[in-house]
Structures are given as C-alpha cells and as structure tokens.
C-alpha cells in the first residue's frame, strides 16, 4: 500500500473523533437522531479545522441504516456501499476547478436522479466561494427547492464571498481554530500510534506552527518525522521550519534592544551570508520579540512558550533588561516591515534599515520610543544623580523699557496710611511701557480688619514725573499713566485708564471711552480727583484735559444732566 500522509491517515471517521467543534457536532448529532435533516448546509471557517471531514461523516451518517451516536456504523450494507469510490450517492465537487455555469447546470440535471444505495444524495461543494456569479445563479433555484432526496453541503474559507441569496438558503456553521493544547494532545496520539519518539518541546513547537489548523500541524509533523531518525527533537523542528539558529537570533535581537547598532548590523550580515532568506529572518526576529513580550507580561510564560529551560533563561534575561516601551516600538518596526517586503525589489536593504532604526532609538520620534528614552533617563537620574531641592517660587518684577526680557527683583512693599475703604495695594512701577498690561495681575484686596479712625488728610507735596508734551498725545498719555501709577495707587482706576483712547483737540488733551459704565466710573468724585492729581503732576491743569464718552462731548452730557434735574426736580440725581 502506498504511503499516506499523516493528515490523511488520521482523518476523523466519526463525529466523536473530531477535534473540538463541539457546537457543530452536537447540532448534527441531534439532527441525525431526530431525522430533521436540512437540505442545505454552509460550513465556513479557517483551513484544516474539519469542514470537509465533518461533511463526509455527516453525509455517511444520514444514509447509514443504524448510526451510532450520530456517526455511521461502517458495518451496514449502505456504509459498505458508500465506502466504494465508484458510488455516486456522495459526490464531492471541487469548486475551484469546476466553477463555471456549465458545471452547475450539469449538477442541476443530475440531482433529479434518486440515490442508488442510501436515502439521500449528498453533494459536497468544497471551496464554494470560487464559484462564479453565473454559477451561483444557476445553483440558486435548485439550492432553494431541491428534491426530497438531495442534500447540499457547501464548504468555504471565505464566507464573505458567498452571495447573500445563497447564505439565506443554507444552515450556517462557523468553525473555529483549534486551541494549542488540543493540537498537542492530538499530535501525541499520532506519534504514539506510529511509534515515533518525541520531546515535549518539539510537540509544542509543531503545534504552535500549526496555528490552530490540524492539517497544517500534521503536515509539519510528517516532515519532522522524516527528518529525525530516532525521535523528534526541538532543534529538528526548528530546522524543518526553516528557523535560524536560536543563539544567533538571540544575540541579534539582544544587540538591537540594547542599541548596539554595529553589533546588530554585523549579526544581520552574518545570518544573511549563510543564505538565509530575508523574510525568514524577519519572522525569526518577530518570533523572538514576541517571546520576550510573553515573558515580560505573563507570569506563566514558561508553560505558555514550552521551550527548553536553557532557551527560556536566555529569553528571560533579555526581557528583564528591556523596557516595555522599547520592546513594543521594536516589534512595531519589524511588523510594518513584513508588509513592505512584499513590494520591495531590495528586501535586504529594507531589513538592514529596520535594524538601524530599531537599534537607534535616539533618532526615532515615535511616542513609544520617546517614552522609553524618558524612562531610561529617569532611572539614570535616580541611580546616579541627586537632584537639587526645588527652589521656592519667587515673584518677578515687571521689566522696564531698558530690560524688558530681564527679570528684576520686586521692590519692597511700601507702607501706607490706612484708608476708610478697601483698596488695591499695588507696588509702584518705574516707567512702565505703554500697553504693557498684557501680563498685569491685580494685587490682592486688603480689607481693614477693624474699624479705622478717620484722620485729617495730610498735605503731601505732589510727585512730579516727566512733563506732558503738548500736541504729542502718545507721550502725554504715557506720562499720565506713570503719574497715575505713582500718585493714585488705585489698581482698578489704572486698569480702566489703560484702555482709554487719547488725542489732542487743540491744546486740550481728551481721554475717550466707548463704555458708559467706564465713563461713569472715571467721572466719579474720588476717581476724578486722582486723575486730576495725576495730570497736575505732569504740568497739566484741570482745564487742560477732558474725559469724554465716545460720540458725546462733556457739554452734551452736562446739558442732558441739567434737563434731567429740571424734569425730576423732586428726585436727587447723583453721578456714580
């Protein structure tokens, strides 16, 4: 007898022998036992998860005279007849090579004939997504209303390519990937059945390479069995899978993660010089980085990776010395490279560029790389450098015109005689530049703690500053503000005056505001008195300036005020 591949030799013959897929097996068993067999089924899922195997078992079971636990007995006349390859009651059609409309028309004609041996005539259409649109249309009506003896089973790995009109006429079953633990158990049974010795690490490596597919795993295992003379070893599995020597990949990745650019490039050149494919080396690097991530984040990493103890110790040592952000960014760089290699004419240059980028984090401005560099600096500062204590925050004096950008120590607070009302205690400023209120901060309000006795106002000598220049409104306004700052000592009034427009009308200096509330505040008795003192200090008497609401003159305001007083003579009118 010719040699059979392991995946053919150990194909399940009963539903109980199927690896996992319990949610599908249970439904099919119940349908067989109750006789509620549907006319169309859709099996979809990843390759090697049992779609075709279950379809064949189910096709035989619904025709079996005495099925056992939902599976064919294999002993009755029908089962023996169906086992004959010449029997046409179970037809398996490859849609990849029979995807035209003519094949589906032929099927539509043949489906009318009744089965020969069993009760049902079953059509298994594998890779159903490969059918053309016209083929689907030809199959549509037959699939919706087939003869009573016909059952259709469509198997596909890409259900999204199946038309909605077909999906709505089928009972859909979604197959799932097989967990690694179940793959390992299955592989042990296979090796025990053929009498082949094995290492546990080799079993785990083969199962991991299967990536959830039983057929892929058994195909790898078949190659490993032929490669190994005595028993299947971990190193033999790595050689069969085309992986580079572990120590070489380990030293290469260690140099990359430590930022040793020269060593990393040298190791890369050594591996490629042996004839190693760029894509295979990239997969080895990604696999090692993934192992480091598992070791760094999982408490049960040794059981998850299932690698020899010496190998695990090397991975553990590198993972402990590597920052998490650094490891993540390095993995991202090589993961992006995997897609770029498909369209590159110079894959070797791309790989070496990725090695350079990953081993030189100081030139990488990705957020993960920056976070790794910050964490490394923090560790270095914590271990080697003692940071000075944080100095107490100090206030900075406002700059003068000569030294705008230089910080100046604040002048000492001057003590003033207490006033009847709360006032803003703002320190005097030497020659503030015009329009320098962008960073002005109002000083805190000083409230009298107790009743203050009234005292007679003192006759103080006026403080003189730079004299006003008649006709030069800008110079006069600056002199006025400096004078107000020195004489008024009222932060609110000073702030209001900073926003006033100003001009000369002949020899009279006019302060203009657009806000009615600001105008009332300026002409208020105590404020007006402070303004008059400020103008007096720069050599301008009361008749030399005017405060005006924009669009109105003072005569208009006084005239209107007089009219109000005459009209409401019984009411006391005050200007506030």
What are 121-141's pLDDT values in tens digits?
Answer: 999 999 999 999 999 999 998
With 50 as the cut, is the pLDDT of residue 404 above it?
no
3-class DSSP state for residue 42? Answer: strand
Q: What is the pLDDT of residue 554?
A: 53
List pLDDT tens digits, range 183-200: 999 999 999 999 999 998
- Region 431-435 average pLDDT: 48
With 50 as the cut, is the pLDDT of residue 391 above it?
no
Unique residue bearing structure tokens 């546990």: 200
The chain-wide mean pLDDT, for the chain, equals 80
Where residue 539 falls among pLDDT bands split at 50, 70, 90?
confident
**Residue 10 to residue 4: CA distance in whole angstroms:** 9
- Region 448-454 average pLDDT: 51
What are the structural domains, with CATH classification, of the chain?
Answer: 6-174 (3.40.50.300), 180-240 (1.10.8.60), 246-381 (1.20.272.10), 429-452+461-567 (no CATH)
With 70 as the cut, is the pLDDT of residue 545 above it?
yes
Q: What is the pLDDT of residue 420?
A: 46
**Residue 565 to residue 557: CA distance in whole angstroms:** 12
Question: C-alpha dihedral over 275, 279, 284, 288, to 10 degrees?
Answer: 140
Whole-number percent of the chain with pLDDT over 70: 79
Question: Nearest-CA neighbor of 201 among 303, 293, 298, 280?
Answer: 303
List pLDDT tens digits, range 264-318: 999 999 888 888 889 889 988 999 999 999 998 888 888 888 788 888 889 999 9
Where residue 488 falls among pLDDT bands split at 50, 70, 90?
low
Residue 235's CB: how many other CB atoms inside 10 A?
A: 16
- Region 141-149 average pLDDT: 89
**Residue 446 to residue 389: CA distance in whole angstroms:** 33
Where residue 149 falls among pLDDT bands split at 50, 70, 90?
very high
With 60 as the cut, is the pLDDT of residue 83 above it?
yes
Token readout for 434 is 């015009």
Residue 85's CB: how many other CB atoms inside 10 A?
A: 5
List pLDDT tens digits, range 211-226: 889 999 999 999 999 8
**Residue 449 to residue 198: CA distance in whole angstroms:** 92
Contact in structure between 11 and 176 (CB atoms under 8 Å): no
Q: What is the pLDDT of residue 387?
A: 43
Q: What is the pLDDT of residue 255?
A: 92
**Is pLDDT larger for residue 356 or for residue 361?**
356
With 50 as the cut, is the pLDDT of residue 233 above it?
yes
For 31, list phi and psi in degrees, rounded to 5: -65, -40
The H-or-E segment that residue 547 falls in is: strand 545-549
**Mutual orientation of helices 525-537 and 473-487 as an angle, nearest 10°?**
120
Contact in structure between 427 and 395 (CB atoms under 8 Å): no
List pLDDT tens digits, range 17-48: 998 899 999 999 999 988 899 999 999 999 99
- Region 445-467 average pLDDT: 52
List pLDDT tens digits, range 411-426: 444 444 444 444 444 4
Q: What is the pLDDT of residue 434?
A: 47
Q: What is the pLDDT of residue 508?
A: 82
- Region 201-206 average pLDDT: 90
Query: Lowest mean pLDDT: which of 60-64, 176-180, 532-536?
Result: 532-536
For 390, list phi and psi in degrees, rounded to 5: -70, 120
Question: Nearest-CA neighbor of 58 among 23, 92, 19, 13?
Answer: 13
Would you call 380 exposed, middle or buried from its count of C-beta atoms within 10 A (0-12, 13-18, 19+)?
A: exposed
């Amino acid at each position: 007898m010719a040699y059979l591949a392991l995946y053919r030799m150990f194909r399940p013959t009963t539903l109980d022998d199927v690896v996992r897929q319990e949610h599908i097996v249970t439904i099919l068993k119940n349908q067989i036992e109750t006789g509620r067999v549907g006319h169309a089924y859709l099996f979809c899922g990843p390759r090697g998860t049992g779609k075709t195997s279950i379809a064949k078992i189910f096709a035989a079971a619904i025709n079996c005279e005495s099925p056992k636990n939902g599976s064919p007995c294999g002993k009755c006349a029908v089962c023996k007849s169906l086992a004959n390859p010449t029997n046409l009651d179970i037809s398996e059609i490859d849609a990849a090579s029979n995807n035209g409309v003519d094949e589906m028309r032929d099927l539509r004609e043949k489906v009318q004939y009744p089965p020969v041996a069993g009760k049902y005539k079953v059509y298994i259409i594998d890779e159903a997504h490969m059918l053309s649109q016209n083929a689907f249309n030809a199959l549509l009506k037959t699939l919706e209303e087939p003869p009573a003896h016909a059952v259709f089973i469509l198997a596909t790995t890409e259900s999204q390519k199946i038309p909605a009109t077909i999906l709505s006429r089928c009972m859909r079953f979604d197959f799932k990937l097989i967990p690694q633990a179940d793959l390992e158990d299955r592989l042990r049974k296979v090796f025990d059945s053929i009498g082949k010795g094995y290492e546990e690490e080799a079993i785990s490596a083969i199962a991991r390479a299967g990536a959830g597919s039983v057929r892929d795993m058994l195909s790898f295992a078949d190659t490993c069995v032929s490669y190994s003379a005595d028993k299947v070893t971990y190193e033999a599995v790595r050689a069969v899978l085309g992986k580079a020597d572990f120590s070489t990949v380990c030293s290469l990745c260690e140099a990359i993660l430590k930022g040793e650019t020269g060593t990393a490039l040298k190791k890369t050149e050594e591996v490629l010089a042996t004839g190693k494919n760029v894509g295979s080396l990239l997969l080895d690097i990604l696999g090692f980085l993934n192992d480091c991530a598992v070791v760094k984040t999982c408490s049960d990493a040794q059981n998850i990776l299932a690698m020899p103890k010496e190998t695990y110790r090397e991975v553990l040592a590198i993972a402990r010395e590597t920052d998490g952000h650094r490891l993540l960014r390095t993995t991202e760089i090589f993961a992006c490279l995997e897609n770029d290699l498909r369209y590159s004419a110079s894959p070797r240059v791309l790989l070496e560029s990725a090695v350079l980028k990953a081993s030189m984090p100081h030139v990488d401005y990705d957020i993960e790389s920056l976070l790794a560099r910050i964490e490394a600096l923090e560790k270095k500062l914590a271990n080697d450098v003692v940071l000075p204590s944080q100095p107490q925050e100090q206030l900075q004096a406002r700059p003068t015109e000569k030294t705008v950008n230089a910080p100046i120590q604040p002048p000492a607070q001057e003590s003033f005689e207490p006033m009847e009302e709360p006032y803003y205690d703002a320190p005097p400023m030497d020659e503030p530049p015009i329009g320098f209120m962008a960073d002005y901060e109002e000083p805190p309000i000083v409230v009298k703690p107790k009743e203050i006795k009234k005292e007679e106002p003192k006759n103080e000598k006026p403080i003189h500053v730079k004299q006003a220049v008649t006709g030069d409104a800008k110079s006069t306004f600056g002199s006025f503000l400096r004078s107000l700052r020195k004489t008024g000592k009222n932060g609110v009034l000073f702030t209001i005056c900073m926003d006033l427009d100003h001009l000369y009308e002949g020899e009279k200096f006019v302060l203009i505001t657009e806000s009615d509330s600001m105008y009332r505040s300026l002409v208020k008795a105590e404020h007006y008195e402070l303004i008059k003192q400020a103008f007096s200090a720069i050599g301008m008497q009361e008749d030399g300036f005017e405060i005006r609401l924009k669009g109105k003159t003072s005569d208009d305001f006084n005239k209107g005020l007089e009219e109000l007083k005459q009209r409401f003579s019984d009411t006391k009118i005050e200007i506030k």
